[in-house]
Amino acid sequence: MISFEEFEVGQKFKPHEFTMTKETIYKYAEAVFDNNPLYREEESGKSSFYGSIIAPPTSAAIYIISAFQSEGKIPPGAAVHARQKFKFIRPVFPGDHLVTNVTVKNKFVKMERKYVFFEMITLNQNGEPVVNSEITVFWTQ
């Protein structure tokens, strides 16, 4: 298990790979009760600008959190969300193979609380940026 003290600024996690599928998109949209047909209905997707169903932008949570946990050393309950930034650069389509790189950008103590700031950059199978994300977590341990 990794502790706050062990994080190093500039530290990079092992790149995390993830393939988005229709099933993953559907399951995510179901879980957040989002009935947007662009995420769920083939016909709506086909007749849209995108020509296909797409993943909800915030389904980035699926692969960025997996990337965050990919080191397999985050203790349960240790990381509580404090801030989150997203740039949704390109839509994600079913079948897209995504690679997310996680870098520790900063760590600090404020009001006796420990915080770690991570940057996450996700690229698709063409090497194009899909989502850039920054996440600051309050480290409880």
Partner 1 sequence: MNTRRPNLKKFAEIELGMELPEVKKQVTQEIINKYAHASGDMDPQHIDPEFAGQTVFKGTIAHGLLTIAYISEMMANFFKDGWYSGSAMEISFHAPVRPGDTITASGKVKTKKTSGDRGIVTCKVACTNQENASIITGTATALAEL
4 contacts partner 1 (rule: CB under 8 A): no
Does residue number 129 form part of the binding site for partner 1 (CB under 8 A)?
no
Q: How far is the CB of 11 from partner 1 (least distance, A)?
A: 21
Farthest-apart Cα atoms in the chain, separation: 53
Using CB under 8 A as the binding rule, whether residue 81 contacts partner 1 is answered as: yes
Q: How far is the CB of 115 from partner 1 (least distance, A)?
A: 12
Q: Does 86 bind partner 1 (CB under 8 A)?
A: yes
Q: Collect all residues with Cβ–Cβ distance below 8 Å to 1 and sequence separation of at least 6.
A: 73, 74, 75, 78
Q: What's the CA gap between 39 and 58, in Å, rounded?
A: 12
CB of 49 to partner 1, least distance (A): 4
- Give the separation between CA 26 and CA 41, rounded to whole angstroms: 9
Residues that bind partner 1 (CB under 8 A): 24, 27-28, 30-34, 36, 38, 48-51, 54, 56-58, 61-62, 65-66, 69, 76-77, 79-91, 140
